[in-house]
């Protein structure tokens, strides 16, 4: 009787332990389905060149020197992120959320920012040659800083950077 009780207990305990260990491991190693959420992540020097990132989340992410050239960032949140010296040349940032993001020294050559939300985004030292800022609401002081360096025409939209910024 004792042997069969031991087998019965082991028959229940072992599977239960395996399930518990499995659940514990899945919280330590999240599934690939969560891989598109980089909230508060540190992604310095990360390479997303040419990637479709439309379902990704980069809120409060640090991605200094990141490579986002020709990436599709349509509707993506970069709120509060630090993208200092990132390469976003040719990136599509249409309707993206850039509020309070740090885009200092970022390369936005030929980028499309149509309809992006940029309330207090820091663009100090950004390269914006050929960038399209159509329908982007900017604080007047930020607009004036960008107008001082604005030049070129976006090859995709055909809009001049100065016109899209509504420079005087």
Query: What pLDDT was estimated at residue 55?
Result: 80
Tens place of pLDDT per residue across the chain (168 aa)? 454 444 444 444 534 433 333 334 333 333 334 448 899 999 999 999 999 999 899 999 999 999 999 999 999 999 999 999 999 999 999 999 999 999 999 999 999 999 999 989 999 999 999 999 999 989 999 999 999 999 999 999 999 999 999 999
Alpha-carbon dihedral of residues 14, 17, 18, 19, nearest 10 degrees?
130
CA angle (8 as vertex; 6, 12 as ends), nearest 5: 115
Question: Quick one: tokens of 34?
Answer: 């969560």
Query: What pLDDT was estimated at residue 87?
Result: 98
Q: What is the C-alpha separation between 30 and 36, in angstroms, rounded? A: 11
Q: Is the pTM of this model over 0.85?
A: no
- The secondary structure of residue 78, as a DSSP letter, is -
- Chain centroid, CA 78 distance in Å: 5
Query: What pLDDT was estimated at residue 9?
Result: 44
Query: What pLDDT was estimated at residue 95?
Result: 96
Q: What is the C-alpha separation between 156 and 168, in angstroms, rounded? A: 24
């Amino acid at each position: 009787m004792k042997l069969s009780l031991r087998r019965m207990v082991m028959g229940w305990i072992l599977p239960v332990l395996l399930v518990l260990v499995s659940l514990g491991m899945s919280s330590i190693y999240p599934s690939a389905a969560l891989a598109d959420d980089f909230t508060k992540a540190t992604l310095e020097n990360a390479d997303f060149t040419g990637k479709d990132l439309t379902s990704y989340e980069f809120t409060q992410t640090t991605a200094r020197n990141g490579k986002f050239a020709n990436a599709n960032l349509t509707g993506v949140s970069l709120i509060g992120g630090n993208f200092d010296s990132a390469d976003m040349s040719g990136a599509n940032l249409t309707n993206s959320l850039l509020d309070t993001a740090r885009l200092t020294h970022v390369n936005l050559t030929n980028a499309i920012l149509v309809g992006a939300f940029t309330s207090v985004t820091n663009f100090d030292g950004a390269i914006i040659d050929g960038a399209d800022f159509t329908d982007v609401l900017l604080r007047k002081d930020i607009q004036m800083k960008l107008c001082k360096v604005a030049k070129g025409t976006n090859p995709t939209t055909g809009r001049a950077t100065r016109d899209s910024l509504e420079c005087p």
